Amino acid sequence: MTDATATPAEAATDTTPAGTQAPAVLAQDGHDVRFDWGEAGLAALGGTCAVLVVVDVLSFSTRVDLALAAGGAVRPVRWADPLPDADDDGPEPLRSPNGATLTVEAGTTGAHVLTACLRNADGAAKLAAELAAGGPIGVVAAGERWGVQVGAAAGSDGPLRPCLEDQLGAGAVVAGLQSYGDISPEAVVAAQAFAVADVPAAVRGSASGRELTTPGDGELLDRAVEVGASPCVPRLGADGVLTGA
């Protein structure tokens, strides 16, 4: 919804910058579990939620889960920022236009920040409930970017493309929070989608799943659709590094 006084051109280009607090109704106030999309959704939820869970199934959140399960740590890097040199003894730098960028942005809000995927959604929900201690939990589906395909140059950008795999991943987290408190309608619908879908088949057949198989990342796709396979829950530390909780 846009301001009634806005021109059509203004309405078409209206965005909510990260760090800008949205009106309470757009932050889904009054609900204990909330769900939104992308940078603008993060901005809406970030000012009020005690915990933020960033979901980027294909593939940032899945890559983080796999790296941490192997005993590593990950430093998320904004898409527009230079990729630092890897240190053999330090965290792996991982840059992406969606999940990594949103994770860094979420770290500026003061909320506890977790990342989740289909592999670890249940564990992420449990830890989110513990950390929130009765406060609101925001689940943010990263989505994709129109015009930013696999192999795109760092810093390239495009408008948000809501994607099936992140809706299902977010729905899996919300499904694990059913007993936490009141769930917003937006979050309810995401959880319902997860409940009724043949999740592996849906993700494999989605636009993002098919795109990922084109450059030969079929093995990553196979790991991404292993629902509930991982007990690891990545948590962002004050040092900007994701480690297993």
Over the stretch 190-219, which tens digit does the pLDDT of each residue have? 999 999 999 999 999 999 999 888 777 889
Tell me, what amino acid is at 141? A
Residue 5 falls within a domain, yes or no?
A: no
In this predicted structure, what is the pLDDT of residue 85? 84
In this prediction, residues 131-145 reach a mean pLDDT of: 96
Closest CA to 19 of 140, 110, 146, 119: 110
Count the domains in the chain. Answer: 1
Residue 11 falls within a domain, yes or no?
A: no
Residue 168 falls within a domain, yes or no?
A: yes
pTM (whole model) above 0.75: yes
By residue range, what is the domain housing residue 73?
Answer: 31-244
Residue 16 falls within a domain, yes or no?
A: no
Specify the CATH number for the domain of residue 223: 3.90.1560.10
Residue 22 falls within a domain, yes or no?
A: no
Residue 17 falls within a domain, yes or no?
A: no
- Which residues are CB-neighbours of 85 under 8 A, at least 6 positions away? 93
Closest CA to 231 of 102, 103, 133, 116: 116
Is residue 87 very low, low, confident or very high in pLDDT (cuts 50, 70, 90)?
Answer: confident
Tell me, what amino acid is at 162? P
For residue 158, is pLDDT > 80? no
Q: Pick 165 or 24 by higher pLDDT.
A: 165
What residue spans of the chain are helical by DSSP H? Answer: 8-13, 38-46, 60-69, 99-106, 121-132, 164-175, 185-196, 199-205, 207-213, 218-224
Is residue 16 very low, low, confident or very high in pLDDT (cuts 50, 70, 90)?
Answer: very low
Eight-state DSSP code of residue 55: E
Whose structure tokens read 């989608």?
193
Cross-strand partners of 35: 139
Q: Helices (H) and strands (E) in the chain — how many of each?
A: 10, 10
In this predicted structure, what is the pLDDT of residue 11? 35
